Amino acid sequence: MKVLVFGAGAWGTTTAIHLARKGARVVLWVYENDLAHEMVEVGENRRYLPGFPIPKEVVITHDPVGEFDVIVNAVPTQYIRPTWIDWRGKLAGNAPVVSLSKGIEIGSGLRPTEVLGQVLGQERGLGVLTGPCIAIEIAKGLPTAAVLAGKAVAKFQPLFNSNLFRVYTSDDLVGAELSGAVKNIMGIAAGIVDGLELGDNAKAALLTRAVVEVARLGVAFGAQPETFNGLAGFGDLLTTCVSPHGRNRSFGERLGRGESVEEILNSRASVTEGVPTTKAVMEMAKKKGIEMPITEVIYRIVFDGLDPRSGVNALMTRTLRPE
């Protein structure tokens, strides 16, 4: 099977490595032309996934051509639309697309597969691969379980599944994508808890209330409640909030230690999806009249300059109610 992995961040590169290990013929599209040349020369992605050799079978390119059986979208959410508008007429065929992106498009409030559907057409067959998937652990070959949700899961499941990467399926595309988006906001919150050294009780309370908040939003948009207790929901949330590798958690930790949003973002090569997602989700919640207190506090910290400790106090002093 010939697969195009579109995007060479840590997750896209890891996916290319994983699929090549399984025997797929993989083409990895790299946005930065200089990075593509460097990756070909040194045989690894030193910018986003250093230390992990890319199999020689993976074709690394800035200009993919030909027809593919499956396309994997690994472009960050806010760049999906402009990137694919530019590329949609350059690739032959009508291959189904599985998305790795986690976020909500600012302005439209659309999920990644909704953006892809608008740009590429719904007839392709669109799905999402999501769950607790820390790229570096998958690259190391550590056991991982994930979820494929959408219409094309029958084709995608055997492609991705292995004895070290177990893949479940779901028909709840809405719940899977909203879980993957909102957990990044909660990852920022978890990082603030760590940065302020608030302890394990606070982290546990945050995780528990975060599940409630994510599910409240998801169900309002047509998701299945049980999704938020599974791998796409709680599983991904847990990993994001505790892993030292999580970009959103580390962003929040640095906020809690007193750094500014601008300082942190300017020091990073990778996208911190939780920042734009916070803005997009707040717009969605307001339109639906959904109460999302954790998200609202993170929005005030990131965009309005609220002191993180004051944000914690705002959450702890809300009106008392039953759980």
The CATH-assigned architecture of domain 174-316 is Orthogonal Bundle (1.10)
Tens-level pLDDT at each residue, the chain (323 residues): 999 999 999 999 999 999 999 999 999 999 999 999 999 999 999 999 999 999 999 999 999 988 999 999 999 999 999 999 999 888 878 899 999 999 999 999 999 999 999 999 888 889 999 999 999 999 999 999 999 999 768 778 999 999 999 999 999 999 999 999 999 999 999 999 999 999 999 999 999 999 999 999 999 999 999 999 999 999 999 999 999 998 999 999 999 999 999 999 999 878 899 999 999 999 999 999 999 999 999 999 999 999 999 999 999 999 999 99
* pLDDT value, residue 72: 97
Q: What top-level class would CATH report for the domain 2-171?
A: alpha beta
Q: How far apart are CA 68 and CA 89, in angstroms?
A: 14
Looking up tokens 């796409």, which residue turns up? Answer: 232
Predicted local confidence at residue 115, as pLDDT: 97
Active site residues: 183
Provide the pLDDT for residue 9. 95
Q: What confidence score (pLDDT) does residue 124 get?
A: 85
Report pTM: 0.93
Residue spans of beta strands (DSSP E) within the chain: 2-6, 25-29, 44-45, 49-53, 59-61, 70-73, 97-99, 126-130, 144-150, 165-170
pLDDT at 122 (0 to 100):
82
Kindly list the domain boundaries of the chain, sorted by start residue: 2-171, 174-316
Determine which helix (DSSP H) or strand (DSSP E) holds 84, and give its type and residue range: helix 80-87
CB 190 within 8 A of CB 138: no
Alpha carbon distance 120, 97 (integer Å): 9
